[in-house]
């Protein structure tokens, strides 16, 4: 199986991504590194452990990481995710402890301790932990197999400002250093994740699994939907972060282009904008595979089938 680290700020959609990874035999989750984003670090660290317990994986190391972006104040998204970040289902407070050691050290030690280019970093939140690891240990850039991240946008710009997507906007300086690090990168932008909509029928399919995980995912996406319905009028919550894991499992249901992506870090107006050279109008070097489309039905059949494998605790 493919060894991965999930760097995350749960978040209902992060939670679904973690469950998808844990339910998939093609993937070996080495641990979770948690970052501040949707809600402050204390809550994302709590939520990550709640999700592990829901999947019966109390053995998985969950490391708390950076509490603040590199240079900017933290922006959170309680308006989307609720005050805990995981509003919706009623789930028990976690009993499992956090793992010893900072998430940044966990990332560095794991990359140094395993074969070069064998570990994939899956980034589901602001890129602060990964950028900090790269800054402290520049040698790891060559050891990363690939960074697969949810962030940015091309046509569908702007879910936190008119110009920027949340994960990149929260820590644009971190994003800029990640895009410059030289490791292979795959980007799942809003253009794709806004196609992964949990319609009523798809939500019913989660619930019909009849398991605690299926029910929790149905309740999480119900909660998450309220925001999108009110704000965008879209039927169903967009499952942003699970697209990262789905790309690892079934890249053939996605399509995209190898492009250059640069991150805006100076203009307040467009802070955190992902400037993707989709039409190749510059000679800037390719630094990412930018995904543009997905087969949503195939995505939801995969997700639902995998969630069904998570047995009741």
Residue 176, contacted partner among ligand BDR, Ca ion, none, CB below 5-8 A by kind: none
User: Is residue 63 part of the contact set for ligand BDR (CB under 6 A)?
Assistant: no
* Structure-token match 């690090």, residue found: 181
Integer-rounded Cα radius of gyration of the chain: 18
The reply on whether position 80 binds ligand BDR by CB under 6 A is yes
- Burial of residue 2 (number of CB atoms within 10 Å: 0-12, 13-18, 19+): middle
CB 45 within 8 A of CB 62: yes
Residue with the two structure tokens 């939140």: 125
User: Could you tell me the CA-to-CA distances from 301 to 50, 237, 253, 304 in Å, in that order?
Assistant: 25, 16, 11, 5
> Is the CB of 209 or the CB of 263 nearer to Ca ion?
263
- State the binding partner of 237 from Ca ion, ligand BDR, none, CB within 5 to 8 A by kind: none
Q: Does 44 bind ligand BDR (CB under 6 A)?
A: no
> Does residue 159 belong to the site contacting ligand BDR (CB under 6 A)?
yes
| Rounded Cα gap, residues 66 and 9, in angstroms | 11
Please say whether the dihedral angle defined by the alpha carbons of residues 238, 147, 77 and 50, taken in this order, is positive or negative.
positive
Would you call 194 a catalytic residue per the annotation? no
Query: What is the x/- site pattern for Ca ion, positions 102-141, by CB under 5 A?
Result: ----------------------xx----------------
- What are the phi and psi torsion angles at 101 (to 5°)? 100, 145
Q: Which C-beta is closer to ligand BDR: that of 146 or that of 240? A: 240
45, 124, 157, 216: residue in contact with ligand BDR (rule CB under 6 A): 124
Q: Which residues sit at the interface with Ca ion, rule CB under 5 A?
A: 9, 11, 14, 124-125, 241
Report the interface residues with ligand BDR, using CB under 6 A.
11, 13-14, 38, 77, 80, 124-125, 150, 159, 165-167, 240-241
Q: Catalytic residue positions?
A: 240
């Amino acid at each position: 199986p493919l060894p991965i680290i999930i760097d995350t700020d749960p978040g209902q959609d992060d939670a679904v991504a973690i469950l998808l990874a844990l339910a998939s035999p093609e993937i070996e989750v080495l641990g979770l590194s948690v970052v501040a984003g949707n809600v402050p670090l204390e809550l994302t660290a709590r939520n990550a452990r709640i999700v592990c317990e829901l999947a019966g994986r109390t053995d998985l190391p969950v490391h708390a990481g950076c509490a603040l972006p590199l240079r900017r104040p933290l922006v959170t998204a309680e308006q989307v995710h609720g005050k805990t970040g995981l509003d919706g289902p009623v789930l028990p407070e976690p009993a499992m402890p956090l793992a010893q050691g900072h998430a940044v050290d966990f990332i560095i030690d794991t990359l140094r301790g395993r074969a070069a280019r064998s570990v994939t970093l899956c980034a589901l939140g602001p890129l602060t932990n990964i950028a900090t690891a790269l800054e402290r240990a520049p040698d790891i850039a060559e050891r990363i197999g690939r960074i697969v991240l949810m962030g940015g946008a091309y046509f569908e710009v702007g879910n936190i400002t008119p110009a920027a997507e949340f994960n990149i906007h929260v820590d644009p300086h971190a994003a800029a250093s990640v895009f410059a690090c030289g490791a292979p990168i795959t980007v799942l932008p809003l253009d794709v994740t806004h196609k992964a909509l949990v319609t009523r029928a798809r939500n019913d399919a989660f619930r019909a699994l009849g398991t605690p995980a299926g029910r929790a995912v149905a309740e999480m996406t119900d909660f998450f939907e309220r925001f999108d319905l009110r704000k965008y009028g879209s039927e169903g919550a967009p499952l942003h972060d699970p697209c990262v894991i789905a790309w690892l499992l079934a890249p053939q249901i996605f399509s995209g282009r190898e492009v250059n992506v640069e991150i805006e870090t100076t203009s307040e107006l467009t802070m955190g904008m992902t400037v993707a050279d989709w039409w190749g109008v510059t000679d800037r070097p390719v630094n990412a595979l930018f995904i543009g489309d997905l087969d949503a039905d195939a995505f939801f059949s995969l997700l639902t089938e995998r969630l069904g494998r998570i047995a009741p605790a």
